[in-house]
Amino acid sequence: MNKGFNLFSVIGIIGITSIISAITVGVIITNEYRGNNGTSYGELIKDENIQEFLNVYESVLSDYYEDVDKEKMIDGAINGMLNYLGDNYTTYLTPEEKKALAERLEGSYEGIGITVGGCEIIEISPNSPAEKAGLMVGDIITKVDDLDLTVCDNEGLSDAIKNSGKEKVNISVRRGEEFLGYEIPLSNIIIPAVSGKMMDNTKIGYIAIEIFSNNVGLQFKTAYEALKNLGMEKLIIDVRNNTGGYLDGAKDIASIFVAKDKLLFSLKNKDQQSDFYDTTDEAQTLPVVVLINGNSASSSEILTAALKDSYGATLIGTRSYGKGKVQQTYTLDDGSMAKYTTAYWLRPNGECIDGIGLAPDIEVIEPSLEENPENIDFTLNKAIEQLQ
C-alpha cells in the first residue's frame, strides 16, 4: 500500500486550506471590526437598506455613461443622508470647512500672528512673531517664499504661510512706496477667546467670551484672577454674539462659580438622561451679571443657564438664540466631517430651551446705529447700573 500523498494531493490540500483560511479570516474581520457604537460590519451588512445602497452604488459604477469620482459620490451620499434628518445642526463639512472649524475651536494655530483681508494685514497679534519682526497693519503682502501674490484670498494666503514646511517663512510686503522683506519664524499662536478689564472708577470687572474654544476655560481663569488682583468685587460676563463651541468650556467656567455638587446641566438622548454636577471645590460669592442677545447660542446658553439657575446670576439684554441640542462629530478618511445631533441639553431647572432661548431678567434692546451714532453700549451700562 502506498503511504503518504502524491504531488497533486498535496497541491489540492494546500489550495483548499488557503480558501478556508481566507474565508475564515474574512468572517473574523467582518464580524470583529466594529463601528463607534459597537455594531460589527457583519451585522451591518445584513441590513437590507445597506444592501440596496451597495447594489445601486455598484450599478452606477458599472453602467453610468461617464467616469465617476467615487470619493465625491460617497461624500454626496453622506451629505444627503444628513440632510434627510432635517436638523439644522446636523451637517456635512468639507475637509476645508472642517479644518477651519477645528482650528478656530482648538484655540491656537501654527503661524506668524496676522489677520488678513485679501493681501492686506488688518490685525497683528500682540507679542507675535509678526509684531516682533516689524510687520505693520496696512502692509500689503506681495510674496510668501517663492509664491508671488497678485490676487489672494484669506484662506490661500494663510495656507501658504502655515504650510510652508519650514521653521521660518519669507514675507515680502509693500508699505506705501516701499518694498520690504522679512524672515519670520512660525510659532504656536494662541487665538484670544477671552478679554477682560476693570470698568472705570468701579470695582466691577468685565470679561467677554468670544468663543468656547479648547482652551477657553484656562483663558477665562487667567483673566478672572487678574481682575481679582485689581480689586474686583463684582463681575459682568459678556456672551453676546458668542455662538458657542466646546461644551466642556462652558462646564469649566461655570465650575469656577457654582458650589460643589450643584447641577450644571443635563443631557437627554433617546435612551436616557445624564446629569452633570460641579465636582470642584472652587466656588464664588461675588455678584455676577451675564449679558446675552439673540446671537448667544449653544455653549453660551449652557454657561448662562448654569450661572442663572445654580449661582443666581442676573441676565441682561435680549432673549438668547435657543440652541438646546448638542452634536457629535465623525471625521472621514478624506478629512471631511459629519456633524450630527446626539442629545438635548437641559438647564438645571429641567427646562429645554431649544427654539425658545433664555429670557433676560432685565431686557435692554439696543437702538440701531442711526439712532445711536455714538455707539453707546446701553446693555453694558445697564449691567453696571444694576451692580452698583
pLDDT in tens, 104-150: 788 888 889 998 887 889 999 888 999 999 999 999 998 888 777 76
Per-residue pLDDT at 27:
47
The DSSP call for residue 40 is B
- Cα–Cα distance for residue pair 183/160, rounded to 1 Å: 14
Mark whether 320 is an active-site residue. no
The three three-digit cell numbers of residue 116, written as one number: 488678513
pLDDT digits (tens, 9 = 90+) for 315-352: 999 999 999 999 988 888 888 888 899 999 999 999 99
pLDDT of residue 70: 85
Q: State yes or no: pLDDT of 260 exceeds 80.
A: yes
Q: How far is CA 361 from CA 199, 289, 313, 319, 376, in A?
A: 22, 10, 10, 10, 21
145 is catalytic: no
CB-based contact 245:216 (threshold 8 Å): yes
Residue 53: predicted pLDDT: 82
Rounded Cα distance between 369 and 312, Å, is: 33
pLDDT mean over 353-374: 95
Catalytic site residue from 139, 238, 278, 309: 309
Q: Does pLDDT of 31 surpass 60?
A: no
Give how far the C-alpha of residue 73 lies from the chain's centroid of Cα atoms, to the nearest Å.
26
CA geometry: angle at 26 spanning 22 and 30, to 5°?
Answer: 175
**Using 50, 70 and 90 to split pLDDT, how confident is the model at 1?**
very low
More confident residue, 329 or 305: 305
Question: Hey, what amino acid is at 263?
Answer: L
Give the pLDDT confidence score for residue 28 in this predicted structure.
45
Q: Active site residue: 266, 298, 300, 320, which one?
A: 298
Residue scoring higher pLDDT (148 or 177) = 177
**What one-character-per-residue DSSP string does 262-275 give?**
-EEEEEE-SS-EEE
309 is catalytic: yes
Which amino acid makes up residue 349? N
pLDDT for residue 32: 53
Q: pLDDT at position 18, please?
A: 52
Confidence check: pLDDT of 30 > 60: no
- 216 alpha carbon, distance to own chain's centre: 12
Q: How high is the pLDDT of residue 38?
A: 63
Annotated catalytic residue within 234, 251, 323, 339: 323
**How large is the average pLDDT for residues 290-300?**
97
Which helix (H) or strand (E) segment holds residue 63: the answer is: helix 48-63
Contacts of 41 (CB under 8 A, 6+ apart): 30, 31, 33, 34, 35
pLDDT at 25 over 50: no
